[in-house]
Amino acid sequence: MIPWRRLGEGRADGSGTLVLAERDGEYSICVGGQELMSSRAHGSEEAMAQLTLAAAAPRDGMRILVAGLGMGFTLRATLDAARPDAAVVVAELVPAVVEWNRGPLAELAARPLADPRVTVETVEVGRLLRSTRTRFDAILFDIDNGPAALTRPANQLLYGVQGLGLVRGALRTGGAFSVWSASASPEFERTLARAGFSDVAAHRAAARGAAGGPAHTIFLALAR
């Protein structure tokens, strides 16, 4: 069996050490021994972008926030679904992840960071939301394995009523919010409603898209 080759590591406040590894053309990002993202399966990350952009009220010059860069698959699908005049902000906590996306991972999702519509902020997304006056038309959260499967304990705050209220306050009327999760959670759907979101729904999306694989959950909610 071909062994994994360690390509780099990086960390940020409140996160464990992220390790990037490669084996026979497949890339993996792990934290604390748990896989955070693999290049093998990105169908549900892409479905998340398609669902969110289809749900957001369309207008000229849409502003979109993608939280969690990972390997760039959600960002690529967001760019593919967004109009040419959209502006996409990426909030990524770990500087090394941004470097990897400009280096060894760049081609996985066809260099999304090179798109002129994209601005990258190396920042914790809660911090960005507290400091920005921008109102977004769509906010996509893929910052962890889901509300019930945290690899970064501090992310718990963002999945609670207060954190989600912060997200709700950063959306324009008609804006859409989505959260990627490894598993379903009726409790999290109720939390989204308590935070002021409407039309809360949980969509199932296959890990490998048309090729199938395990089903992940995309929570989708609107700001009315």
Ligand X SMILES: C[S@@+](CC[C@H](N)C(=O)[O-])C[C@H]1O[C@@H](n2cnc3c(N)ncnc32)[C@H](O)[C@@H]1O
**Rounded CA Rg of the chain:** 16
Query: Which segment (51-59, 70-78, 161-169, 193-201) binds ligand X by CB under 6 A?
Result: 70-78
Nearer to ligand X, 103 or 224 (CB): 103
Query: Is 125 one of the binding residues for ligand X (CB under 6 A)?
Result: yes
Q: Considering only residues 20, 41, 69, 81, which one is a binding residue for ligand X as defined by CB under 6 A?
A: 69
**Closest to 66 in 3D by CA, of 115, 125, 114:** 125
221 dihedral zone (left: phi>0; alpha: psi -120 to 50; beta): beta
Q: Considering only residues 55, 63, 70, 147, which one is a binding residue for ligand X as defined by CB under 6 A?
A: 70
Q: Which residues contact 33 (CB under 8 A, 6 or more apart)?
A: none
Query: Is 36 one of the binding residues for ligand X (CB under 6 A)?
Result: yes
SS3 93: coil
Nearer to ligand X, 155 or 217 (CB): 155
Using CB under 6 A, which residues numbered 142 to 171 contact ligand X? 142-144, 152, 155
Query: Which segment (1-9, 20-28, 62-70, 206-214) binds ligand X by CB under 6 A?
Result: 62-70
Query: Is 73 one of the binding residues for ligand X (CB under 6 A)?
Result: yes
**Minimum distance from CB of 87 to ligand X (Å)?**
18
Residue 180 C-beta-side C-alpha neighbours within 13 Å: 28
Q: Which residues contact 187 (CB under 8 A, 6 or more apart)?
A: none
Query: Which segment (36-44, 112-120, 186-194, 203-211) binds ligand X by CB under 6 A?
Result: 36-44
Q: How far apart are CA 84 and CA 82, in angstroms?
A: 7
Tokens of 33: 């021994």
List of residues contacting ligand X (CB under 6 A): 36-37, 42, 45, 67-74, 91-94, 97, 124-125, 142-144, 152, 155
